[in-house]
Structure formats: C-alpha cells, structure tokens
Amino acid sequence: MSLNYYNPLMTEAHEAFRLRVRSFAESEIKPVAGELDNTATFSVDITRKMGQIGLLGMTAPAEYGGKNMDTLSYIIAVEELARIDASQAATVAAHNSLGIGPIVKYGTETQKQEFLPRLLSGEGLWAFGLTEPNAGSDANNTETTAVREGDFWVINGNKIFITNSASPLAAGATLQVVTGEKDGRKELTVILVDRNTPGYSCEPITNKMVWRAADTGRLFFNNMRVPVANTLGEVGHGPHIMLETLDSGRLSIAAMGLGLAQGAFEMALDYASKRVQFGKPIMKYQAVSFKLSDMALKIELARNLLYKACWQKDQKLPFGKEAAMAKLYCSEIAKEVADEALQIHGAYGMVRDSPIERFYRDQRILQIGEGTSEILRLVISRHIGIK
C-alpha cells in the first residue's frame, strides 16, 4: 500500500480509488478551497466535476446510473475530500447518504426511475429535510403537516439547516411530515418533493462558521400539493426510514472527521518540521512530537473503527451501534487533532490565510450534525442494553 494506511479491510482497488480521489481533491479543490471559504461560495463548477468523476452516485445501483461501489469505497472518497476541504465533502456526503440513500432503499420502481437518474449524474442534488425550528435532536417533534386531499398531500411548514437545499443545483428534498395521529402520537411519514412544486421555496443560510462553501438552506412549504405517489415507504414509517438513513449518514460524518483529522495532522507534521525555534525544528521537542504521536494514534484508531462499521454494513450485518461509535469517536478526535494542530502552528494558524484555521472551524459541526455527541451516547447506551 503506497500511503501507509494499511488496513486489512482495504483492497488494492480501494487504494487505487483513494489515489484517484486524492489526486482530484488536490488538483481541483485545494487551490480554491480557501477562497471559496472566505467568500462563502458554493461552487457549481466543482460540484459538477465531482459528478463527472462519479462521486455523486457511488453506492447506487448501476441500472439507474450509479457506480454500485461498496460502502468502504464511498467512505474513502468522503475521507479524501475532507482531508482537503470539509465543504466539498459535506456536499457529497449529504447527497449520497441522506439524499440518494433512502430513495434507493425505500423507493418504488417508479420513484427510482423518476428521481435517481438525474441525481446520480450530478445534474441535481437531493436534500434530507428532517430538522425544523422546534425539532432538532427531538426529530419526532416534526411540525410540518401533510393533509391528504384525494391523490395529493397538501403540505405546510418549514425546515431549517438543510444541506444541499438552496443552491442552483438543489433539485428537491425528502421531507418528514406529520400525516395524522396514531395511539396518541404524531404519525410521521416521508415524502419526496421536487423543488419546482408550486408552494415550495428556499433560502440559503449565510454567514456560517462551518462548511462555508457548502449549501445550507431553509425550506418553506405553503399549501404545496404533492402526489400521494411520492410517499416514500409506508405512511407512518417516517421515524424508521429517517433513523435508518441516519445510521448510514453517520458513517459519512465519521469519514469527514477522519479525513479532516488526517489533513490537520499532515499540516501540523509539515509545519513542525519547518518551523525553527531555539535553533532546531519544533518537532525535535518532545512536547511537540508527543502531540503528533497522539494525533497519529487517534487517527489510526478512528480509521479502524470506521472501516469495521463499513465492513459490517457491506456484509449486511447490523451496524447501527458501530456507526454511532464511529461518528462519535471520529468527530471527537477531529476536534482534538485540529486543536493540537492549531497549537503547533502557533500564531500563524490563527490567520484566515492559513488552512488550519479553516479546519479548526469546520470540525465543529461534526459533533452536532446527524446526532449530537450527547445524543450519540444515548444511542450507544441503548445498544449496550441501558434503557
């Protein structure tokens, strides 16, 4: 293995794929990542290029235009993008895991034929609309309603902080909505909604601290009429579909943590070899070299945990606990590694021109999105039998 990332779960094909994505990220994304972040610009051009090299439909079946790759290949791609730029990794991860994932898993043949080809080619991006102003971690507190009128749902409400929902490439979203009440609880259902539906509007959320070159938006629905045929899965199965989607999504957030940590570590190692104080490179001081050793150790552990969770998914074994653990661990070590990498850069890491400053900010969403670290500990505690 050329990159010294030996892992028993990786094949030569995985390694070759990693090198292809790495080469793309270094040549196409790295030169512009700082500027896109500074100006908070979502790049249609880079997104289209990511589509052209197959990154926008990696695990979907070939018959609809997907690449039919295994989970580990997809995770390696997200990891490699995040090693260079978290924003582009976020665009790809949200589209593959949260956008396409549930359509592939729960869509009818007609829905797959209608939605997948244009999403898998990268012509459009698909969003996952779960979060609302009063429904964050408590996703079952959805307030957006869908009332049935003949063959249509009439949808009213709004969603907030939705990735890939407001750029020119945003094509629509999978929404969790309240369709009634059952046993004293909200009946929650998932519906696919095209952006061009009358009553659908979106607006970008600007001035974010993180993922400034990724598209995050708000969605508003005003008496929007959507065919009942767009219901994904069965009426009332919303929480099951959304939670299963999040299990897979968590693998890609973990990959973002791992890739970001790898990138921050490499920057710190390089800087520590060049920065001379008291007559020698600072990496010669044990206080600095021990920091770098701890970073390398955390990254190794994170990679092993994440790849094992991917392997379980590919073997069709339960992987919810491992996905939660990988997401929690990889996002937490991304914070620790980025923090120590910044420390090694000293004052030079604190200026906007320094990539490590961007990495230090971008890691912060990873402990919040798709299950906060607190909620993930709750998920893990249930998996280990704590009621």
Q: Which is nearer to ligand FAD, 162 or 171 (CB)?
A: 162
Which residue's Cβ lies closest to ligand FAD?
A: 136
φ, ψ of residue 125 in degrees (nearest 5): -110, 145
For β-strands 170-182 and 125-129, DSSP reports them as parallel
Q: Give the shortest CB-343-to-ligand FAD separation in angstroms.
A: 25
CA dihedral 27, 30, 35, 38 (to 10 degrees): 160
Q: How far is the CB of 110 from ligand FAD (least distance, A)?
A: 25
**What is the rounded CA–CA span in Å between residue 175 and residue 162?**
11
Nearest distance in Å: CB 51, ligand FAD: 19
**Which of 60, 162 has the CB closer to ligand FAD?**
162
Query: Which phi and psi (to 5°) does residue 65 adopt?
Result: 110, 5
Neighbours of 32 (CB within 10 A): 16
Between residues 255 and 272, which has the closer beta carbon with respect to ligand FAD? 255
> The tokens 């490699």 sit on which residue?
80
Tell me the closest approach of the beta carbon of residue 363 to ligand FAD, in angstroms: 12
- For 192-221, the DSSP string reads EEETTSTTEEEEEPPS-SS-TTS-EEEEEE
Q: What is the CB neighbour count within 10 angstroms for residue 307?
A: 26
Question: Could you tell me if 325 and 304 are in contact, meaning their C-beta atoms sit under 8 angstroms apart?
Answer: no
Q: Which of 143, 332, 370, 374 is catalytic?
A: 370
Contact 250, 187 (CB under 8 A): no
**What interhelical angle do 30-38 and 86-93 show, nearest 10?**
90
Element (H, E) at 231: strand 231-232
With respect to ligand FAD, which residue has the nearer C-beta, 32 or 135? 135
Is the Cβ of residue 11 or residue 141 nearer to ligand FAD in the bound state? 141
Residues in contact with 120: Cβ distance below 8 Å, sequence separation at least 6, in sequence order: 56, 57, 60, 64, 65, 66, 100
Q: Which residue's CB is nearer to ligand FAD, number 216 or number 331?
A: 216
Closer CB to ligand FAD, 82 or 162, in the complex: 162
- Cross-strand bridge partners of residue 220: 158, 201
Q: How far is the CB of 369 from ligand FAD (least distance, A)?
A: 5
Q: Residue 358: name the closest of 26, 23, 39, 43 by CA.
A: 39
Sequence length of the chain is: 387
Q: Considering the complex, what minimum distance in angstroms separates the CB of residue 382 from ligand FAD?
A: 12
Q: Within 13 A of 316's CA, how many CA atoms are on the CB side?
A: 0
Helix axes 238-274, 86-93, angle to 10 degrees: 160
- In the complex, minimum distance from the CB of residue 280 to ligand FAD, in angstroms, rounded to a whole number: 41
Residues that bind ligand FAD (CB under 6 A): 94, 98, 127-131, 136-137, 161-163, 210-211, 216, 365, 368-370, 372, 374-375
Q: Is 370 one of the annotated active-site residues of the chain?
A: yes
Contact 103, 149 (CB under 8 A): no
Catalytic residues: 370
